[in-house]
Amino acid sequence: MTSYALQVPSEYGYVLTVAVSSLFINTLHFVLTAKARNRSGLAYPIPYASQEQAEKDPKAYAFNCAQRAHSNYTENLTPFLGALLISGLYYPTAGAALGAAWVFGRTWYAFGYTSGGPQGRLRGFFISVVSDLALKVMAVITCVKMLPSA
């Protein structure tokens, strides 16, 4: 078994800066969801308005959109951070740039979904999905490069 010390490139700070910035999107979602919940009148611990409520009340529907946007963010954050932190070991500048695109896309997604419903999320979704896929490919390449030579 071969062991080695992990050295991070000098530009890795950019990767970490993007990683930290992505965490503030959660705060954004918290604010957007709390505002939508207050407007809808849905009390805790109700996680979503029922379909019947959402069909009758646009404010309940808007709350569901905000809640779903937040849930989608939490579903995507861990894989994004993994791909970003791994890919940044070999591609720190490209990884940070793609990570920043993901953060931008997810921010657009949050505002779009909460203000325009499911159709409002599509542009932000596209940006985040493309950048996320590129990061995952770069993460795989990084892992292969780190395998010991035979």
Q: Check residue 141 and give its pLDDT.
A: 97
What is the pTM assigned to this prediction? 0.93
Rounded to whole angstroms, how far apart are CA atoms 77 and 82? 9
Q: Check residue 149 and give its pLDDT.
A: 79
Q: Check residue 2 and give its pLDDT.
A: 66
Query: What integer best gives the mean pLDDT of the chain?
Result: 95
Contact in structure between 111 and 65 (CB atoms under 8 Å): no
Q: What is the pLDDT of residues 55-76, one digit of tens each?
A: 999 999 999 999 999 999 999 9
Contact in structure between 64 and 49 (CB atoms under 8 Å): yes
- Residue linked to tokens 């080695």: 4
Q: Check residue 6 and give its pLDDT.
A: 82
Q: Check residue 3 and give its pLDDT.
A: 72
Q: Check residue 150 and give its pLDDT.
A: 54
Q: Check residue 125 and give its pLDDT.
A: 97
Intervals of the chain under pLDDT 70? 1-2, 150
Q: What is the pLDDT of residues 30-40, one digit of tens each?
A: 999 999 999 99
Of 111, 139, 107, give the one whose Cα is nearest residue 36. 111
For residue 124, what are its two tokens?
């932000």
Q: Check residue 148 and give its pLDDT.
A: 84
The three-state secondary structure class of 15 is: helix
Q: Half-sphere exposure of 97 toward its Cβ, with a 13 Å CA cutoff?
A: 5
Rounded to whole angstroms, how far apart are CA atoms 113 and 32? 10
